[in-house]
Structure 1
Amino acid sequence: MSKVKGKNTKPEMVVRSLCHKMGLRFRLHRRDLPGTPDLVFPKHRLCIFVHGCFWHQHPDCKHACMPTSRVDFWQTKLTKNVERDLKAHQALTNLGWRVVTIWECHVKNRDLLRIEIHKAFNVEA
């Protein structure tokens, strides 16, 4: 698991590229904010997390299945990931930030991703 990247993943790079092409400017991985959001738009008080469907257990997603070996280990690990995400989301909301989660499986369709980003900024697509 030490080889699993936490920053600059392919889905994150796609979201960053699309945001940049849309003229949106952002900061990366702000450690001073709870959960270290992947993209931070200070002007809009918006944080975007780009989550992997497996690691963050995307509800009703085929990629969020539980491994069949070492089930206890994986169930504990993945549950803690989800709990940590919820705490970070709540902490950011309490600080006055809006929080959007973009899932790895949503990144594959660029048109839907563009619409999702527009919705995050309350801009009609």
Structure 2
Amino acid sequence: MRANVHKDTKPELEVRSFLHKNGYRYRLHYSRLPGKPDIVFPSRKKLIDVRGCFWHDHRCARHSRLPKARSHFWTEKLRANSERDHRNEQLWVAAGWTFQIVWECELKDKKAELERSLIDFLKDNPA
């Protein structure tokens, strides 16, 4: 597991590239927020967290199959990751932040929809 990267993953770089091309500027891995979310817009109080389907237990059939070896370990590991994600989301909301989760499978299967969704999310400015 040492070889698994948690920053600058391919899905994260793809989302960052799209946002940058569309004129959005952001902070990366913002340590002032729980979980150090991937992409943060401090002035808008919005953030985007890019998640891998396997590591964050998305349960999409294509990208998140549980390994057969040591299945108990992996079940517990992925459950703990999901619980941590949920706690972080609650803390973000409590602190007044809005967020969007981007799943790895969305980048592969529904890219155009995802890009429209990200633009809408960032344009939305509640009064």
TM-score for the superposition, normalised by structure 1? 0.92
Structure 1 residue 32 displacement after superposition:
1.4
DSSP-derived class of the 2:49 partner: strand
The equivalent of 1:113 in structure 2 is 114
Q: How many residues end up aligned between the 2 structures?
A: 123
How many Å separate the matches in 2 of 1:88 and 1:99?
11
**Whole-angstrom distance in 2 between the partners of 1:85 and 1:72:** 20
| Identity score, percent | 41
Quote the Cα distance in structure 1 between the aligned partners of 2:117 and 2:58. Answer: 16
Structure 1 position 79, deviation (Å): 0.3
The C-alpha deviation readout for 1:75-125, integer Å capped at 9, x for no partner, is: 0100000000000000010000001100001112432221120232245xx
Secondary structure at 2:78 match in 1: helix
Cα distance in 1, alignment partners of residues 26 and 61 from structure 2: 28
User: How many angstroms apart in 2 are the aligned matches of 1:26 and 1:61?
Assistant: 32
Q: Does 1:57 align with 2:23?
A: no
Asked if 2 retains the 8 angstrom alpha-carbon contact of 1:47 and 1:97, the reply is yes
Q: Structure 1 unaligned segments of length 5 or more: list them.
A: none
CA deviation after TM superposition for structure 1 residue 61, in Å: 3.9
User: CA 1:112/1:80 → structure 2, altered by over 3 Å: closer, same or farther?
Assistant: same
Alpha-carbon displacement from aligned partner over 1:5-24 (angstroms, at most 9, x marks no partner): 00000000000000001111
**How well do the aligned residues superpose, as a CA RMSD in angstroms?**
1.3
Contact 2:53 2:60 in 1 (8 A): no
CA drift of 1:30 comes to 0.7
